Amino acid sequence: MSGNSARCRSDCRVPVTLPPYALSAPVFRFRNLAALAGRAPIGGAREVALACFVAARLVSDCCDPTLEIDEVARAARCAGAKAWLGTMAIPSPVRAPVAKLAEASAMANPTVMAPLVASLGRAAESFLDAASRSELDALAARLAGMAPPSAPPLANRPPLVASR
């Protein structure tokens, strides 16, 4: 009898529901990049982490269908990010990939942005910790997965035949 009641207790669970006025927990994207920027000493490492964070947010936001950022807003965000990034003391190996990624965010083309995110991760690797680097890698993989399948090469396509 005691074995059966113990089994019933472990199987009988009450679902936890939130009160109607409770808010859902916010999702903070790229928390590891932000945390690295917050704890890094002032100088190159902090500025690289901030630049990677801004670039990642630009790219992620422009490809998020729930945000519905239009072309004008993307262009304005791109211009603002490029101006801000221009004032930072970012090491030259990282400056070019960040600038290219900010520029590409205005087009919102995952096919173009996925390799740029990956190249930024490689360029900034010595400044980032493993968790921050994994966030950039995950973003690059997500963008690569969003890319439409490429058309087959011309040699593999069936010939066009005119019908009369």
Going from the C-alpha of 83 to that of each of 86, 120, 138, the distances in angstroms are 5, 18, 27
SS3 assignment, position 6: helix
The residue-averaged pLDDT of 86-91 equals: 92
Give the pLDDT band (50/70/90) at residue 104.
very high
pLDDT at 159 over 80: no
Any domain includes 24: no
Any domain includes 17: no
pLDDT at 162 over 60: no
pLDDT at 3 over 80: no
Give the per-residue pLDDT at 12.
Answer: 61
Give the per-residue pLDDT at 139.
Answer: 95
Any domain includes 49: yes
Any domain includes 162: no
Any domain includes 5: no
Asked if 33 and 53 count as a contact pair (C-beta separation under 8 A), the reply is yes
Close Cβ partners of 96 (under 8 Å, ≥ 6 residues apart): 123
Any domain includes 107: yes
Q: What are phi and psi of 43, to 5 degrees?
A: 135, -150
Any domain includes 157: no
Give the per-residue pLDDT at 9.
Answer: 54
Domain that holds residue 141: 31-146
Count of domains for the chain:
1
Give the per-residue pLDDT at 154.
Answer: 43
Any domain includes 11: no
Q: Name which of 48-57, 65-74, 129-138 the model is least confident about.
A: 65-74
The residue ranking higher by pLDDT, 109 or 153, is 109
Give the per-residue pLDDT at 27.
Answer: 81
